[in-house]
Structure 1
């Protein structure tokens, strides 16, 4: 489910802006990514830190893959079906609506996956007429089950005449944005308890798109993340009031498509299969472990700033994620975030620390960014949640995670732009 809007098209949290005024040799990798291992660090065997996948919706467990979802590796084909209604004449063309989302969505995933995913769109190219007026489906954010089922039943019926659904792993039903019954807050992924069996294949989920033209930036990328079993990271207030982005702020697309640093967290990249085992380090024991973290954004052709302030293209295959296990279904993640790639508008750079819980369902806080600067905020003009905009531990700083006693020190940066850090799993005394 996507993040809500105000009447002007932005998230409610936008009010805060004013109110808050992989490849080197094994030996080379060990030399550059694990420095002076004074504790137990496992760069090539992360079973001790791989949280188990639980039965909650979109569990953050990474020990197994949920086969009910398409794995975003290689080429994933997505069909776009454009639906019009008897009570409106479309004012935009399918070509215009396709351009709203592609190639931008494909580029986002190409960069986030370090080239491991190619999301290939297949737009139908013309409108298909639904049998009933748009107002008949009572489209809204918290959609009545029967009304939603009627919409999907009619959409599949009209589309099956022209679409071979067996060819696609992702299905987008794009409604005429100007039809009177279309509510942009209703854009979401619909997970079907009983799959639709069509063209010899089971369709288990559909992205229903009701965005205005032009749409909000990266909204389709956010919804596509759900198709790949990623959870919502925002918080939905029970009374509809208050901030929505208190869990992760700007720091993951699944929190907000408006974020300044919307690249997916390293934990999510590990879950999706975009990180090699050697790019994840499990830190154990009670003594400090020094290691080098590559910027999350660094990959083929993505420059980051080296120690001398000049762009470096030499990164992309080193350690991206350090983990400290904190409980049966919980862990802390540590990753370096730079103003590059999908995060080129990031407010602050440094080592981002966050809690992961594989037992928390989508929308229930499965990830929570830990604020290393809890008494300050930053980028209040354009951050979705300024209190977390300056959350990373900056160069030369140290930080102890509240409640866990885990300490991280950001010691320096290499000439290539990687971050050297020291992590102490348990601080005593």
Structure 2
């Protein structure tokens, strides 16, 4: 048995990754290259319900009450920590006003194993997402049009949908066995809006089979879906924020904050691996892999591994040319610039999840622990502001060549922090100096 928890009206509705339109032949700063996706992650839990100590390193920002805060001193236990194997159930929902044109197996294959493979690579094998898709449709009691499914979903309609979905699936699913719940609607049903995919976080959990269900991923994706869309939404389940810029009027470029450089910015990015800051947050980096550089100290000379490199990873993404001992060294350098701000430095290049990266080098970005999801908690600093790269493929070409490369020096605008990249070694590591 179960009951539906209260679904409150969120103060900061979170719109997920915008969908990408074909790039026009001529680029204009005023042109719109993406449309607002209704992949809205509706987030209702803002502050930590219970905070567990996490990192005591001096450059770890403190968690704030900001939704999906980038603070790392504690872990918000309202979210599952993906530092172990987690189980996800996929429930496929059909409606009485439509006969499905796809099978549950086909829809499951749209998202798995691509989603689990992404997280396995991003976590260096530390996290496994095990999908358990149902093999048959679960029939909803009302026509698809009765739920008024849309991007800005009415709270009552959304609550009715969740209640009916849980009622319909309860006889076939033991929800106590699962850490993540995906409700996947028949994408071809007339009332299903593919822009309505979202994570629904509940201020009062659903209850089923003796378990509390605090969040549900409601999937309304077309078949086939947007690339890595479920990985992005699952990132919210693990307390990761949206990193794109949300224009006040819904017009303009959405990707000016991080461009291609993190899945939580764009699911279409050429280099969508998670930032090293996020890997630290999720428990995938050891403290020894994070270097804190103190302001005012002598220049720090250090060596960093490519972010995506795990043990035996190929150098430069070249198969058969393994890195020697890669995977256990330092991957992130951090300069604390204020109470809630920091600069992060990491090596990005065409390896693993970043295989499509068109430039390699030291990526620099700002982190703000007090910024809400979707309001600039992370911003990439462009080391080459006068140029752009990968115009035909990048979601935001001005940031595609943001990294600092070998032989270059770069002073971060507005900060007395300078990085000089000395060399890229034959083993695949990068040597640099940071003056703060």
Q: Do the aligned partners of 2:317 and 2:352 also contact (CA within 8 Å) in 1? A: no
Q: Do the aligned partners of 1:16 and 1:384 also contact (CA within 8 Å) in 2? A: no
Q: Do the aligned partners of 1:2 and 1:185 also contact (CA within 8 Å) in 2? A: no
Q: Do the aligned partners of 1:370 and 1:401 also contact (CA within 8 Å) in 2? A: yes
Matches within 5 A, 1:122-141: 122-141=132-151
Secondary structure class of the residue paired with 1:126: coil
Report the alpha carbon displacement of residue 310 of structure 1 after superposing the two structures with TM. 4.5
Report the alpha carbon displacement of residue 142 of structure 1 after superposing the two structures with TM. 1.3
C-alpha distance in 1 between matches for 2:371 and 2:24: 27
**Change in CA separation of 1:408 and 1:289 when aligned onto 2, cut-off 3 Å:** same
C-alpha distance in 2 between matches for 1:149 and 1:235: 29
The match for 2:336 among 325, 328, 339 is 325
Q: Partner residue of 1:53?
A: 63
C-alpha distance in 1 between matches for 2:63 and 2:85: 25
Secondary structure class of the residue paired with 2:232: helix
C-alpha distance in 1 between matches for 2:432 and 2:321: 21
Q: Partner residue of 2:198?
A: 188
**Change in CA separation of 1:195 and 1:355 when aligned onto 2, cut-off 3 Å:** same
Which structure is higher in RCO with an 8 Å CA cutoff and minimum separation 6? 1
Q: Does 1:19 align with 2:30?
A: no
Q: Partner residue of 1:227?
A: 237
Q: Do the aligned partners of 2:197 and 2:220 also contact (CA within 8 Å) in 1? A: yes
Matches within 5 A, 1:138-177: 138-177=148-187
**Change in CA separation of 1:265 and 1:85 when aligned onto 2, cut-off 3 Å:** same
C-alpha distance in 1 between matches for 2:149 and 2:18: 15
Structure 1 runs not aligned, ≥5 long: 22-44
The TM-score, its normalising length taken from structure 2, stands at 0.88
Q: Partner residue of 1:75?
A: 85
Matches within 5 A, 1:26-425: 47-286=57-296, 287-305=298-316, 310-312=321-323, 314-425=325-436
Report the alpha carbon displacement of residue 238 of structure 1 after superposing the two structures with TM. 1.4
C-alpha distance in 1 between matches for 2:114 and 2:311: 18
The TM-score, its normalising length taken from structure 1, stands at 0.89
Report the alpha carbon displacement of residue 367 of structure 1 after superposing the two structures with TM. 0.2
Report the alpha carbon displacement of residue 325 of structure 1 after superposing the two structures with TM. 0.3
Q: Do the aligned partners of 2:95 and 2:139 also contact (CA within 8 Å) in 1? A: yes
C-alpha distance in 1 between matches for 2:245 and 2:139: 36
Q: Do the aligned partners of 1:410 and 1:422 also contact (CA within 8 Å) in 2? A: yes
Q: Do the aligned partners of 1:16 and 1:385 also contact (CA within 8 Å) in 2? A: no
Report the alpha carbon displacement of residue 236 of structure 1 after superposing the two structures with TM. 1.6
Alpha carbon RMSD of aligned pairs, Å? 1.7
**Change in CA separation of 1:321 and 1:129 when aligned onto 2, cut-off 3 Å:** same
Report the alpha carbon displacement of residue 415 of structure 1 after superposing the two structures with TM. 2.0
Structure showing the higher helix proportion among its residues: 1
